[in-house]
Each structure stands twice: as structure tokens, then as C-alpha cells.
Structure 1
Amino acid sequence: MEWLFAPFEVSFVQRALWGGVLVSLICALAGTWVVLRGMAFLGDAMSHGMLPGVALASMAGGNLLVGAAVSAGVMALGVTALGRSRRFSQDTAIGLLFVGMLAIGVIIVSHSQSFAVDLTGFLFGDVLAVRDTDLVQLAVALGVAAVVSALGYRAFLALSFDTRTAHTLGLRPKLAHAVLLGLLTLAIVASFHVVGTLLVFGLLIAPPAAAMFWASRIPLIMLGAALLGCLATGTGLLVSWHWGTAAGATIAAVAVALFFVSALASRVRDSRTTTEEGIATSS
């Protein structure tokens, strides 16, 4: 029991746990829609698109979250604008902006040797360095994400399955898509400081995808994703403490591992169900 609970008696590990839990809840709300709509590549591009804003904010001594939000917003607007062209698919627009924004960020970073350490934090996060002010910011972000998810639920649901139906019902799919991009941006910007941009998708994608094996209703998927994200956070911190591994990367790795465990368990369940139905039919 001491092996399980001793790490969480340390104050910075407690803050890391709370930070990871808050990030898990935010990512459960946004990540469910990302998985349903197949927006993972867009989210990945947006997370890397934050680099120029974060680099400029760091060099100017400004707020990194503001710089990240502005840069991710520019990325989202660019993808939306280029995605309207009929000459190429939206994936092409995402790929172009992904490479362009990342290249600009690296160019900016290359002019500041002192930014190298901060770049590591940007990519991989530092969950063990979460401060009380970070927890407050995450709590506010969670409140905003919850309100947006509740108010936009009907429009997001229609948009996920049939854009034409959403338009017919007067749900304004273009506005709903823009708001959904805003929700995704909020989740990424709020989370990158904790687990980093390269690892944020461990909590944004894996828990909702794992929950979809066991639930079909969206609120239940969100609940399952939140529980799995919290489990990944606690387990990742525990493993990191005892094995001396990077905390953010360990949390993300556990989240992905939970997805594969869930997929395997679901396959065993389906196989057993099929066998039982076959026996019942033959008898």
C-alpha cells in the first residue's frame, strides 16, 4: 500500500495528479468529438502550429498560453479557409499549414539559443512542474469546455453524422464546426503545458477511442474517456515515480496502452458472445 500511496504524499506530485485529472476531463469533452469526426490529424497539426506563438511569447517575455492560443487560432482559420477550395482535400490544406507553421516556429527558435530548454517543455511537457496558478487556469478551461459542450451538443451530434441534416435542422453546421475547432484549440492550449504537444493526443484520442468499445451513447463515451484519462494519469505518475521515467510521456503511454487493452478485451467479449449465440442456436 505504501508503494501505491507514498508518491502522492509529495506536494508536487499531488499538483501533477490534479493537473492531469483536469486535463483528462477537458480532453474527454473535446476528444470524443475529435474521434467521432476523424479530426485527429487536424488536432495534431494545430498542436504543432502553436510553436511560432509560443516561441515569440517566450522570447518577448509574454504569456505562453496567449501565444499558443493565438497561433493555434491562426492555424484553425487557415485550415478552414483553405479547406473550402475544391482543388484539393482538407488533408492537403492541413498538411501544408502543419509544415509551414512548424517550420516558422523552428526558424524563430533557431534565433534564440536560450529557448532550447523551453522547446523541450513545449514538446514533452512538465507535469511535475504544475503550479497552483496552472490548476486554476485548467479549472477555468474545464468550465468553458463543459459549457461549450453542453450548449453545442445537439449541433455537434448532427455535424458528426450528417452535415446536410444539421443544415436542414437549422443548426448552422459551419458555425458548429468553428465552435468545435475552438473547443479543440482550448483543449490543446490548456493541456500542452502539462503533457506537451507531442503527447497531448495520448489523452485527447486514446481514452475516447477506448471508451467507444464499451459505450455507444456520447455522454457515456465522455464519462468513460474521463475515467480512463484519470486512470492513465494516476498510473503514469506512479510508474514514473518508481521507475524514474518522464512523467508526461509515461501518462500518454499508459493512455495508449489502455486503448489496446480495451480493444483486446472488446474482441474477447465479442468472440465469446458469438460463441454463446452459436451454442444457443445449435441447441
Structure 2
Amino acid sequence: MDFLTSPFDWWIEPFYDNVFMRNALWSGLLAVLATSTVGTWVVLRGMSFFGEALGHGVLPGIAIAFILGGDTMVGAVIAALVMVFGVNLIRAHSPLPEDSSIGLLYVGFLALAVVILSSSSGAYSGDITRFLFGSITGVTDSDLLRQLIIAGITLLGIVVLHRAFLVMTFDEVQAELLGLRPRVAHAALLALLAIAIVASFQAVGNLLVFAFLVAPPSTAAMCVRRVPAIMITAVMLGAVAVVVGLLISYHHDTAAGATMALGTVILFLIALLIRSLSGTYNVRLIT
């Protein structure tokens, strides 16, 4: 119960005395800012499976960049954009549903990553684990700068394309009639999703980024009704998960990324329980 009996020592001192904790805090908050805003559209458009697939789809780029000694974030960006392009290409030329093309590329990219990683030296296993599960306490100033730039690009895209995303989410035919080019907007959303995931893998890792992408917006959608309010609430909920998760990890020596991701899911379950007890089940959005 130190968080109640010694609030300064538990809540403040870890960030005050440790540079790595302050960097981890900023990294986590930037990751939440990028994923929760894009994740709102992922949740509203029912694209959660694609978000999960893309989270794993960046692994081949990371693996190749790592083995060649290059920048893993650049490799992740390239792999993510290739997967987005591939999904749109298969979607345009295949009679199969979109989830089929996503599933095929998901398996293909994941298998490619396993092949690449299995061919490399076992001495790299520690770094591979960091890519999979995150190493937020090891972020550097250059990592934070890149996260800041990517988060800024994501927010700019969300603001500029808000109307197109909103209309195509609820009525794609109307979006076409209004000249909003829903296919182009959809491709832009996938690109923003890709760079948001890339910005977050340093913080929570590829296998856990899905929690940040889906859980805070899903929780927010049960609490508020307007899309901008969902985004703001999702960012706030994600920020709570980051702060509390980091502190629990620091005081109890748990994996930071997994602890933060677990926090987002716990917040969702709490909101769901409260909503169930109140007898409210339907979520109606106000556009």
C-alpha cells in the first residue's frame, strides 16, 4: 500500500530521480497519442484484425534491418507500407473478402519474419525479444524525437482527413457522392495506421501494440459518443495505463510493456463491468 502511505516515493520519485523513467514516460505517452487517435477509426470501422496483422507485418522489415545493421524503425516503416500496399492491391484484384487478403499477408509476413530470424545467430535473441515485447526503459533521445515526428504526422493526417474518415465510416456511398474519394481515404487511413504502429513498437513491442491500438478507443467508445471525444478520452485512458504500468513495473520488477498493455485491457474490463451493471449495452455515436 505504499502508493497510499508514501505517495511521493511511489508516484513521483521514480520519474524525478531516473532519466530512463522520464524517457519511458514520454515514449509511452507519444505511443498512446499516435495509436489511440488512429485506433479510434480502427475500432469504429471494424478494422481490428488488420491492426493486429499490421502489428506483426512490420517484423520482416525489423528483422532485415537488424541483421543488416540498419535502422530498425526504417525497416518497420518500409514493411508496414509494403503490407498496406499489398492489402489494397489484393483487395482491388481479388474477388475474396478483404479479411482474406489480410489473413494471407498476415501469415506470409509472419512466416517470413520467422524464417529470417531463425537463420540469424542465436546471440541476437535478446534484441529480438526487445522487438517483440518492447524495451521502453531503453529509449534514447533520438528515439523520442522520431516518435514525436511520427506522432505529429499521424495527428496532422487525422485532422486533415477527419471529414473523409467520418463520412466513409458511416456511409461510403455518401462519401463518394460528396467527392471525398473513400478509397483514397481508406488507403490514407491504412498508411496512418502503419506509421502509428511503427511509432509504438519501440515502447510496447509488436506483440503488445494491438492492446494500445484497440483497448483505449474501445473503452472510450463505451463512455462518450462523439468521435473527437472518443479520441481524447482514449488518449487519457492510455496515458493512465502508461503511468500506472510504468510505476508498477518499476516497483515490482515486471515487464514494462506488458504491464502497460495489461493496464489498457483492465480499464476496458472495468468500463464494461460498470456499463453492464448500469444496464446500458448499446453504444450510439453522434457524428
**TM-score (normalised: structure 2):** 0.92
Q: Which amino acid aligns with 2:13?
A: A
1:48 CA drift (Å): 0.9
Q: Give the equivalent residue in structure 1 for 2:4.
A: none
Q: 1:203 aligns with which of 189, 208, 212?
A: 212
Unaligned runs of 5+ in 2: 1-6, 281-287
Asked whether 1:149 is paired with 2:154, we answer no
Q: Give the equivalent residue in structure 2 for 1:21.
A: 29
Q: Give the equivalent residue in structure 1 for 2:56.
A: 48
CA contact (8 A) 2:35 2:212 kept: yes
1:1-283 correspondence to structure 2 within 5 Å: 1=7, 2-9=9-16, 10-85=18-93, 87-113=95-121, 114-270=123-279
Find the aligned partners of 1:13 and 1:86 in 2 and give their Cα distance. 48
- The superposition leaves residues 250-270 of structure 1 with CA deviations (integer Å, 9 ceiling, x where unpaired) of 000001100111111122334
- The superposition leaves residues 135-173 of structure 1 with CA deviations (integer Å, 9 ceiling, x where unpaired) of 111111121111101100000001111211110110000
- The superposition leaves residues 16-57 of structure 1 with CA deviations (integer Å, 9 ceiling, x where unpaired) of 011111111111211100000111111111111111111111
Q: Which amino acid aligns with 2:219?
A: A
1:201 CA drift (Å): 1.4
Find the aligned partners of 1:228 and 1:181 in 2 and give their Cα distance. 23
RMSD: 1.2
Q: Give the equivalent residue in structure 2 for 1:280.
A: none
Find the aligned partners of 1:66 and 1:212 in 2 and give their Cα distance. 33
**TM-score (normalised: structure 1):** 0.93
Find the aligned partners of 2:196 and 2:157 in 1 and give their Cα distance. 12
CA contact (8 A) 2:51 2:213 kept: no
Find the aligned partners of 2:10 and 2:159 in 1 and give their Cα distance. 40
Divergent runs of 4+, >4 A: none
1:115 CA drift (Å): 3.1
Find the aligned partners of 2:170 and 2:124 in 1 and give their Cα distance. 43
- The SS at the match of 1:112 is coil
Find the aligned partners of 1:88 and 1:79 in 2 and give their Cα distance. 12
Find the aligned partners of 1:48 and 1:3 in 2 and give their Cα distance. 35
Percentage of identical aligned residues: 45
Find the aligned partners of 2:76 and 2:165 in 1 and give their Cα distance. 25
Q: Which amino acid aligns with 1:94?
A: I
Unaligned runs of 5+ in 1: 272-283
Find the aligned partners of 1:103 and 1:139 in 2 and give their Cα distance. 31
- The SS at the match of 2:245 is helix
- The SS at the match of 1:84 is helix
Find the aligned partners of 1:270 and 1:132 in 2 and give their Cα distance. 47
1:86 CA drift (Å): 5.1
- The SS at the match of 1:205 is helix
Find the aligned partners of 2:103 and 2:124 in 1 and give their Cα distance. 26
1:133 CA drift (Å): 1.1
Q: Which amino acid aligns with 1:17?
A: L
Q: Which amino acid aligns with 1:4?
A: W
CA contact (8 A) 2:87 2:101 kept: yes
- The SS at the match of 2:101 is helix
Find the aligned partners of 2:87 and 2:94 in 1 and give their Cα distance. 13
Find the aligned partners of 2:237 and 2:145 in 1 and give their Cα distance. 22
CA contact (8 A) 2:55 2:210 kept: no
1:4 CA drift (Å): 2.1
